[in-house]
A and B are shown apart, each in its own frame.
Chain A
Amino acid sequence: GQQLNQSPQSMFIQEGEDVSMNCTSSSIFNTWLWYKQDPGEGPVLLIALYKAGELTSNGRLTAQFGITRKDSFLNISASIPSDVGIYFCAALTGNQFYFGTGTSLTVIP
């Protein structure tokens, strides 16, 4: 079952604003991943983090692997309409792979 708490559950923002979402867990993980899922499609990997404290960017997206290995955040800067979708965090250790509950992002033009 899931062990990741993701917040916020949903966000409604104006185009151009920055977005921040995070995931926390009571367990330690070796890898944190962030995905975006559009309706009717599989999740697409945005950023993968493999080391505690690691900060990684992918265009306007920035994600960090928490130093305690129990959390991670994702920031989206200068949001645009195509950022709309559901964002999931995921964490894995060994062969255990868990998903967050998702953050639904709506960008208002």
Chain B
Amino acid sequence: GAVVSQHPSRVICKSGTSVKIECRSLDFQATTMFWYRQFPKQSLMLMATSNEGSKATYEQGVEKDKFLINHASLTLSTLTVTSAHPEDSSFYICSARDLGLAVDGIFGPGTRLTVL
């Protein structure tokens, strides 16, 4: 079945540094990828939607200059948290869809970001 991977699974960084998280669709081409963040005991909050080859669409309240999303190929999207601060610590999860194959809502395993 369709599988989405994320790398790294967890990362600890110092305040002020930038962190890149990768999301890959392993056996299908993802026309669209979604990025979420999740705080403990809360639901997933959509951050942005990205289509391959075009700019991401950010949800209200999400700073696009802080959370840089690149969807350069049909199997890879990256989320870069720039100048990370402790309040950016969260669980970041991506999901991917391929409308052509009716593959929807497949999630990666998530990335735990801790900013010290």
Interface residues of A (CB under 8 A from B): 1-2, 31, 33, 35, 40-45, 48, 50, 88, 90, 92, 95, 97-102, 104
Contacts and interface: CB of A to CB of B under 8 A. Distances in A.
Contacts, number: 59
Contact of B108 (A42, A45, A104): A42
B43 A97 contact: no
B43 A48 contact: no
A35 B107 contact: yes
Contacts of A102: 42-43
18 contacts: A1-B60, A2-B43, A31-B105, A35-B105, A40-B91, A42-B107, A42-B109, A42-B110, A44-B107, A90-B105, A95-B49, A95-B51, A95-B57, A97-B34, A97-B49, A98-B46, A99-B43, A99-B46
Shortest 4 CB-CB distances between A and B: which pairs?
A42-B107, A42-B110, A42-B109, A99-B44
B109 A41 contact: yes
A88 B59 contact: no
Contacts of B109: 41-42
Contact of B104 (A31, A43, A44, A88): A31
Interface residues of B, number: 28
Main secondary structure of the interface of A (DSSP, over half): strand
A42 B42 CA distance: 13
Contact of A92 (B4, B91, B104, B108): B104
A2 B38 CA distance: 13
A45 B95 CA distance: 11
Contacts of B104: 31, 33, 48, 92
Given A33-B105, A42-B93, A97-B105, A88 B110 contact: no
A87 B110 CA distance: 16
A99 B43 CA distance: 7
Contacts of A45: 105-107
Contacts of A99: 36, 43-46
Interface in B44-88: 44-46, 49, 51, 57, 59-60
